[in-house]
Structure 1
Amino acid sequence: MRPDEIATALRRAVRERAIPPGQALNQDELARRYGVSRIPLREALRTLVGEGLIIMKPGLGAVVTELNVGEVQELYSLRMQLEPPLAADIVAHAGRRDVDDLARLVEAMQALQPEQSEEWSSLNYRFHRRLYELSGQRHSVRLVVQVLNLVEPYARVHAHVIGSRPQMQQERVEMVQALRDADDARVRAIIEQSIRTARAELEMSMGEAAPLPDAADL
């Protein structure tokens, strides 16, 4: 595997909580898992350090970033600055086939059973990425994706532990309809409300709290 391929695999593992926040990474074990030497692995880890997904700690080495409530607040505030302004460009560039693709993702999410939480979250992440990619604003989308990757382990808790999945599912349905109607004001309003609600519920959960659970507990 090339360093970029290793980085992609690790990024997904972190995003999906297969490697949970706060866990130290055993580089020998990872090298064996991906069938590589430690040189390309170190290069991949440097990439993830640059993205903020991993930090280097003295005595521990590479550790998956663990966010506190203040950092979650900061990242959701950043989402509010980055994502809603893309609404007009999303509507301007979204063709019928693009909207149909998003609708199929929503239908696939609706077809999943309640216990299929990881599958639902993976489709939800794909929905968000595809939605923002439609804007055509390459540099903005790069920043959005970087922030989404940082908050995704916590967003999964929001969906499945806090119990917001039905509301989030309805928001995706409404988003597809707003895109079909070419209603950029409605698209922006849905994005804003989604971010605002997720932030408030996560703040409450983390503030009360107990550490966020691992993927196996979702």
Structure 2
Amino acid sequence: MHTTELIPSVGKSADDVYSAIKQAIGETRYAPGEYLREEQLARGLGVSRTPVREAFRRLGAEGWLEVKPNHGVRVRSWSIRDVEEIFEARMLIEPYLAGRAATGIAAPELLTLRGLADEMLEIAKNPVTPECADRWFAANRRFHDIISGAAGNQRLDQSLRSMKDVPLIKWTFNIYSDDDRARSARQHVEIVEALESRDAVWAEAVMTCHIRAAQKSVVEKFRQEPSQP
């Protein structure tokens, strides 16, 4: 299969090309370690090599690609240390933001969070399929983005989003056991309850437990079977 067959139609600007390649990697359309060909991508996307080269540079700096002089550009493979670092960083930032959000989140956002938590509860009752994983990923991402955005700290919010904006997050749901999925869904409900109660301590505590449980499941699975995103 040609590389560009995996990328949706895009505009011609450098930002369009960057976003399209990043989306393709984020949706795991490329395997870890797979080489991307600048000329082939440019030809298939109908652009010059310059925006593709710039996209490679940006994605390399952000950790999505490995840019190896004289060897080429390939999709980054994730190590156990990468997994541990992402969860360590989340543990430092996300519970704090949840506590901050508890004191300032608006009622409409709480209603949205309740709906997303209910959706994830329903998803967790069904067998895992690609469609199911996509729905969970979208709901989970929106859920956590709403909370971090409501905390009122833009820099921490952006830092958190960037570290979670990797294929690893989508891969997490795919490797969860039935018990993992059910527990995660229940924790989302409890996070909403803590926020509805405007209880910062509770919100911080349950978010800590939520991330710690995910870390344990993912790290154990990664060590057993590093068929990573």
TM-score bracket, shorter-length normalisation: 0.7 to 0.9
Partner of 1:103: 114
Identity %: 27
Partner of 1:57: 68
Partner of 1:18: 29
Q: Say whether residues 1:42 and 2:53 are aligned partners.
A: yes
Partner of 1:119: 135
Deviation at 1:140, TM superposition (A): 0.8
Deviates more, 1:29-38 or 1:99-108: 29-38
Aligned residues: 211
Partner of 2:175: 161
Deviation at 1:106, TM superposition (A): 2.6
Quick one: distance in 1 between partners of 2:21 and 2:116? Answer: 24
Superposed, 1:1-16 pairs within 5 Å as: 1=11, 2-16=13-27
Q: Deviations 1:13-49 (Å, cap 9, x if unpaired)? A: 3223222332222334433554432222222222222
Residues 1:32 and 1:93: Cα distance change in structure 2 (over 3 Å): farther
Q: Say whether residues 1:194 and 2:210 are aligned partners.
A: yes
Deviates more, 1:115-124 or 1:101-110: 101-110
Contact kept, 8 Å, 1:31 with 1:38, in 2: the verdict is yes
Q: Deviations 1:156-205 (Å, cap 9, x if unpaired)? A: 33322232222211111111111111111121112211221222222211
Higher gyration radius (CA):
2
- 1:172 is matched by which residue type in structure 2? H
**TM-score for the superposition, normalised by structure 1:** 0.85
Q: Which runs of 5+ in 2 are unaligned?
A: 1-10
Q: CA RMSD in A?
A: 2.2
Moved over 4 A (4+): none
Quick one: distance in 2 between partners of 1:28 and 1:106? Answer: 44
Partner of 1:134: 150
Given candidates 69, 90, 93, the residue that maps to 1:82 is 93
Quick one: distance in 2 between partners of 1:61 and 1:128? Answer: 35
Residues 1:131 and 1:209: Cα distance change in structure 2 (over 3 Å): same
Quick one: distance in 2 between partners of 1:29 and 1:183? Answer: 54
Quick one: distance in 2 between partners of 1:145 and 1:77? Answer: 14
Residues 1:71 and 1:210: Cα distance change in structure 2 (over 3 Å): closer
Quick one: distance in 2 between partners of 1:171 and 1:32? Answer: 47
